Structure 1
């Protein structure tokens, strides 16, 4: 029979392992019911910047850039600095906007960030000392996260090609999802890594960020804007001696955001990862499919008499609890993925119904337009008949008046033209006779002898 003390020892070991992670209150917000205390317009231990306006702060989120108008900038910067080598920064954001919207979200770990960087993005900042993670639609992709480092020697604003300075990247969809997306930064003495929605993005064992750096988030929108909303920025550490009164056990943070973790970790779907019938299908770096069965590592059953020592008993119990935990995790992941697929299908069906309603509304407009066109056709037909009648009346009236005037004019011409021609002929003949008489008189005078005195 197994001793109850083994369960107590195992529970103590697990509790001690989990209790080594602390929440840094002075560098965290969004892990409770409200980001800021009710009535305050600022985040405790954080400064909010923006131009031309200050970002809007709500009870559960801060809107760095609104959906309209465009060309906005917003930022939140911690007043205090990171003082530990081992830390985790957990950020949740959401991006909404038009189909061709553009903008970028920047997560910074930088020295004196609120003064040196302010509300700038990685494309407009000059010289800074630290790390920047940029989330945008680089090169027309559906979404990409890229990492940049600077020791203060590079002027990013005047650099001819800032994109070539990225040291790591990964693609993921983040716009118009309807839910927040999680970005998690892990920094230890040996490695720096970035996770997107619970999946590894990139990591490096050559990056060391010394203590004394501020953490901040900036966002910038363009003419076609994206609305960037930040729901949470939580900093966890494994050692609380640098923070003392400003840390609390990570259990309280996990209790406060347990349902958020369940949703945001399990709902996120990836194009290269699907679950079918309890088996996980993923794609390796070479593009070949790798099938993993979460139950293929199940511990085989064995007789209780085979476990003789308390150490073997504890090891067997520990292994079986881990196996159960792994299986439960796989089940929850599968359920979360199925739930995410259901949510996605629901969103697609809702969008299709919305589009169908829009089309039906257009059909209603078409029927109204057809009715109006029928009325217009009737009016044009009646107008054509009326114009035809008026034209016939005008034609008859013109014919009557023209014929009447023509006959009167003809009679008038006949009456006056007959007498007028006789007089003209008489004048012409008389003038000819006068000329002829004058000619004969002239000849007679010329031919008669002259008398000399």
Structure 2
């Protein structure tokens, strides 16, 4: 029975040690979104100063923080941790997403500085916009090197840079006239000194609750057995309560994941429509650019010369046909001189007949009444 009790206590100590070790490595007041809701009804973010520009405050949801909204543009959003990191060895994991139109603009910065105008160093090119999923940024500093990773890939790493302790973490975002929407899902800061301090607490807890060594192998008395059984029952009840609480958190996490899945499906459906329209526009733009390049690159002087020759030949042929047609019309038409002579002769005959008629009438005898 004593061995069983020792095993039970060892299991309890192991569970408590693992929990303390895991929780101690996270700087809680410089972290958010680490396995729990970020905000409850917009009640603020514990340990962080939240700000925005032009009365358009940063939007806090249960699973994300929208630093700059999709509309309107030219907005600013910022998160600044209140707790100072005193340990020279630390790491930060930041999950974010950037969405916007194809020609949108904006910028997102992660700070570890006591002064916002501090020195910046390091650079790498990475396509993080409109991925449809959060990008994971990791910043690590040890006594040997400083390293930045994006989605598990090393952005840059150097042993010549070292950020001195005594700084705070900050996240700032700004959007352009055609805005990008920056969303912060998770920021987890870990510190080596907090882990060491909590491991000391763990060792003290274990030393205080470790049972005294057995003096002999004699069977314990009935009273001791009852007390040990009762103590074991209490410990098992504590473990059962912790398990129940863990199951409740798992159920809450499952419900949150279901909501996220519904939202992702809705966003994907909308994004498919937008992507289809965007692909059509891109195809049209490529066609226009291809035509423009062909026009600029190809020499049309030869085609213009051929067209000019064709027009000249057509004009010459039309004039020749017109002259030939007019000549035919004139040659096939009756002679006008004959008609004129005939008309004049008829008129002279009529005049002579009229004169002859007058003479005969004047020479006729006149009758008087």
> Whose strand proportion is higher, 1 or 2?
1
The normalised TM-score by structure 2 is 0.48
Higher helix share: 2
